[in-house]
Chains A and B, each alone.
Chain A
């Protein structure tokens, strides 16, 4: 978020500011580890996400919002586990030792949860509807699985479509929107990721998509970067980038491997 996905952070900050619900970065936070450990007796890998919950608690906050889908998934699952399993919370607090105990009072949200209740504000903020643009929404895994942390219906989500329609864009039906992008296999098995990307992007293009929209830095990286192994060059936007453009806000879109500017110029969205 601070390096390869800074486009997401800056656009999200600007959009939320415009909507009158500014996001404030926590004074301190810890890397969540990116993958939730599902091992029953592995408390070690729950420490990092729970430390971030402790930071919020010590700052007097009881709500944490994440932009990244993976952070959301890990923080939410770890937090729920501490709330549901008293024994685990006790072990955790024993380990935290001299640091303050986690009391389990913090809730984890994804940006979508917050946007969900703000339809009217979003409609009002749109200065330039993106009428001409045809996009395919893409959720990937982390927003929807497992279903106890899903931001919407696991098999048939609509939350992103609803948001996009408020911006005026034409939203395609995309049955591949809940399929995996290959995720962390990008580290040492690009072949897997390339296959996934080919499959997801080719379907979207056949249906007429000019761009794909999502909310996860890793999905963005995979779909954007690994398209080089395919015949396509479809821009991959964070949803907050399209919101910023529709709200008439200035964003620099500097992390994109496939530069979205020519498409945006063609559509009259950028000059």
Chain B
């Protein structure tokens, strides 16, 4: 593929921007997301791409713009390309994750259950680099600090929007694995702190009984347009 593809095809009215992918120059139409721009440039994603909607955290990207010394991080599926962008996409984050049995991590029975499993959180120097890296605008440093003082629920609340992209953890000078720790906090909160939900239990039982198997099968086989329409017209009800 040549960098000037759009112009070659006579699409002069499409404004193009110049980007550098792992050092190689491409011209891509303005307004594309990083993800679609990479595809436009001929890359095919086998990893580092999932929902394309900003939910799954698979598409972490590191980039810098022309006259800025700072490295920036964001999600490739949510960020528009800019002229003079230098970028690379990160397909996988090899972060450690603690193993535990959810039935044995009742927070009341331990001094600090998160610190026990992720002792490295005590190394936090409050530099706030993690917060600046987060594409979800989460107060990452604050949830690490909440965990450090044993406040599992606050850690869970502050990290609620985390999509496990891992960008915080590759920036942290203390090598903390924020998102795995916070996921543990949310699991503990769901299991021990939040009120038990009867509706949830009922629904899980219904799923186990196979009551939705038929509907699921229908959806898998549905035409894409019909599926979209069904999704848009879905019925959302308040609990209770």
Contacts and interface: CB of A to CB of B under 8 A. Distances in A.
A206 interface: no
B11 interface: no
A3 B142 CA distance: 18
B interface: dominant SS: loop
Interface string A14-35: 0000000000000011110100
A1 B149 CA distance: 8
Contacts of A95: 127
Contacts of A4: 111
Contact of A3 (B111, B122, B125, B127): B111
B33 interface: no
A258 B114 CA distance: 27
Contact of A31 (B111, B127, B128, B149): B149
Contact of B126 (A2, A31, A98): A31
A48 B142 CA distance: 12
Interface residues of B, number: 17
Interface in A78-121: 95, 98-99
Nearest to B150: A3
B145 interface: yes
B173 interface: yes
Interface string A39-65: 000001101100100000000000000
A2 B145 contact: no
A33 B124 CA distance: 8
Contact of B148 (A31, A51, A98): A31
B133 to A, nearest CB: 13
Nearest to B131: A99
Nearest to A50: B126
B143 to A, nearest CB: 12
A2 B128 contact: no
Contact of A2 (B122, B125, B149): B149
A3 B113 CA distance: 11
Interface residues of A, number: 17
B83 interface: no
Given A28-B142, A30-B145, A31-B145, A48 B124 contact: yes
Contacts of A2: 149-151
Contacts of B124: 31, 48
A267 B126 CA distance: 46
A interface: dominant SS: loop
Nearest to B126: A48
A30 B174 CA distance: 15
Interface string A127-163: 0000000000000000000000000000000000000
Interface string B223-234: 000000000000
B65 interface: no
Nearest to B151: A2
B112 interface: yes
A48 B125 contact: yes
B111 A30 contact: no
Contacts of B126: 30-31, 47-48, 51
Contacts of B149: 1-3, 31
A38 B171 CA distance: 25
Nearest to A46: B125
Contacts of A98: 132
Contact of B125 (A1, A33, A99): A33
Nearest to B145: A30
A29 B126 CA distance: 10
Contacts of B112: 3
Nearest to B139: A28
A47 B150 contact: no
A227 to B, nearest CB: 19
A99 B111 contact: no
A57 to B, nearest CB: 15
Contacts of A33: 125
18 contacts: A1-B149, A2-B150, A4-B111, A29-B145, A30-B141, A30-B145, A31-B122, A31-B124, A31-B145, A33-B125, A44-B125, A45-B125, A47-B125, A47-B126, A47-B127, A51-B126, A51-B128, A95-B127
